[in-house]
Structure 1
Amino acid sequence: MADILTLVFKTFMSRTDIKNDVEVTSPTPTCSSLLIGDQRISRSVLLLAAVTAASEMGVRVVFFTQTQIQRLPAALQKCIPSLRPESLKRIKFCYPRTVEELLQQVASLHESANLYPTPPSLIIVDRMERFLAGPGGSNQDGFHPGEQSCAAHLSALLCDTAAFLTNLLKEHASGSVPCRLIASFQSDVDTAQTSGEESVTDPILDVFDRYFQVRCTLDQDRSYEAAAAGLQEVWHIYLSGTGNIEASSSTAHEEGPGVAQEWRLLIFPDGLMEFKLV
């Protein structure tokens, strides 16, 4: 189960809809999650995951992105008003410009000099489609040459690095949490489908699905009910994939706590973000 994401959702759950039947299970050591959808929302979720891991779990985080982060977005500051500066020091932001630089920086995590005093327990990659794109980060002229093999190479290196760091974490302390991996990707196919074009499969997503055990899909709710509720935006969040535990509602009631499969993200006019279990 994608327990980091579930921890984020539970931490920022709607205070009017708190439930106690959501089980956050321990992942396999190689558990990895891929956020699919709107780049703005997925980045906010990635930042929430980084801050939650650093502050709630007290672990080190490495965050790879092409866009400089000077400060947390105002919306996130509203969600975490009491965040302590020492928690942010556990997050290391890295800014590779190309996929080659990203590969090099991920590979460098294997070097012991970069792991002091303890290895990171969470690796985050923001907007992988920009790294796979050509110069300038735009894929209007097509992805990076050999994009499918490049996506496979990057995914394999990320998963291998997470597994390597997991072993180091076990050596540093018994019972230590494994190193998780979360990345985001916005597919051009998603954009095409929303504009009414025929549904097609994204070959890059097919590659990612071989390596990322959990897919977290963001889908905006544009219904009248969402607008009438006085919310700025409403997003559906669907968890699926081989790393996600299947649990029906009947099983949840008969055998114990259920595992969340779907959430909603509520964004208020003042920027406050809350998650609601569906």
Structure 2
Amino acid sequence: MADILTLVFRTFVSQTDVTKDPRVAPPSPAGCSTLVVGERIISRSVLLLAAVTAAAEMGIRVVFFTQTQIQSLPVSLQKCLPSLSPESLKKIKFCYPRTVEELLQQVASLHESTNTSPTPPSLIIVDRLEGYLCGPGGGSHSGFHPGEQSCAAHLSALLCDSAAFLTQLLTQRSPSSAPCRIIASIQSEVDSGEASAADSILDVLDRYFQVRCTLDRDRSYEAAAAGLQEVWNIYLSGTDITEASCTKDCQKQPGAAQEWQLLMCPDGLMEFKLA
């Protein structure tokens, strides 16, 4: 269930959208993994916003895996969260595995006492899966190879197993605790020659991630005429989109898609609205 992403969208909804309602129902234990598909820059902004919102609004611990060092929060996040407390940021642990082997090792060690004391993490985020699943050098330009499909399955299965184990720990400490969630991102824009390979990787990932969040830049005339720096269409779809994460205007049935828009204002502010 995309409960955390839905919380992000509703918390930072445009002031012109009267449907703002930050309340999100607890997710079901069976469906707590979301795959964000889109360009790397906007995907990372959404992941960071999710991490900060989860830590600040929900008070949960977050583990954020990425290959690129994060020196400071992007301007867009600083605009959205001008009064963010240092205590909230302390709930986010940034880890920088360079290779898929290092990522697998660090994910496998999440159950160790050094990572679960005093409280186990309730959200695992992996930024830019393609950087770990591509050939030497990382990034989409290196291309996907046949071995990446089995590697994607191995990594996804380990993430799900780790989240299930952490959910058990969280429940033991507090029966009312929500399950541990997983959010990962992968870049969707690849060269035409790599499209089929990228699609096969997504097919593998979809077996493990119940919800897909697709970020698609709106390049229409209407978007340009709106005077905004960027407009992104957001599509939430999957087998675990249910009433708990639906808005009142969407169809409340499994597999129903939700549509939002992300507005990137000239001053860097990020706003969301129902499409």
Q: TM-score, normalised by structure 1?
A: 0.89
Distance 2:222 2:142 in 1: 39
Change (3 A) 1:8 1:21: closer
| Distance in 1 separating the partners of 2:187 and 2:151 | 16
Aligned partners of 1:276, 1:20: CA distance in 2, in Å? 9
Query: Is the contact made by 2:145 and 2:197 (CA closer than 8 Å) also made in structure 1?
Result: no
CA RMSD in angstroms comes to 2.6
- Structure 2 SS opposite 1:262: strand
Counterparts of 1:169-248 in structure 2, within 5 Å, are 169-189=170-190, 192=192, 202-245=199-242
| 1:10 pairs with 2:10 | yes
Other-structure match for 1:167? 168
Cα distance, 1:5–1:56 mapped onto 2, change above 3 Å: same
Gaps of 5+ in 1: none
Identity of aligned residues (%): 73
Q: Using the alignment, how far apart are the partners of 2:251 and 2:269 within structure 1?
A: 36
Q: For the residues of structure 2 that align with 1:56 and 1:138, how far apart are their CA atoms?
A: 33
Q: CA deviation at 1:74?
A: 1.0
Cα distance, 1:223–1:92 mapped onto 2, change above 3 Å:
same
Q: 1:226 to 1:175 in 2, by over 3 A?
A: same
User: Counterparts in 2 of 1:1-278, with a 5 A limit?
Assistant: 1-19=1-19, 24-30=24-30, 31-143=32-144, 146-189=147-190, 192=192, 202-245=199-242, 261-278=258-275
Q: Where has structure 1 moved over 2 Å in runs of 4 or more? A: 20-26, 138-145, 197-201, 251-255
Question: Which structure 2 residue ranges, 5 or more long, are not aligned?
Answer: none
| CA shift in 2, pair 1:253/1:101, >3 Å | closer
Q: Please tell me whether the aligned partners of residues 22 and 260 of structure 1 are also in contact (alpha carbons under 8 angstroms).
A: no
Closer, same or farther: CA 144–60 of 1 in aligned 2, 3 Å = farther
Count of aligned residue pairs for this structure pair: 269
1:23, 1:260 within 8 Å by CA — same for their partners in 2?
no
CA contact (8 A) 2:7 2:23 kept: no
Contact 1:187 / 1:202 at 8 angstroms: preserved in 2? Answer: no
**Cα deviation digits, residues 136-164 of structure 1 (max 9, x gap):** 21343433661000000000000111111
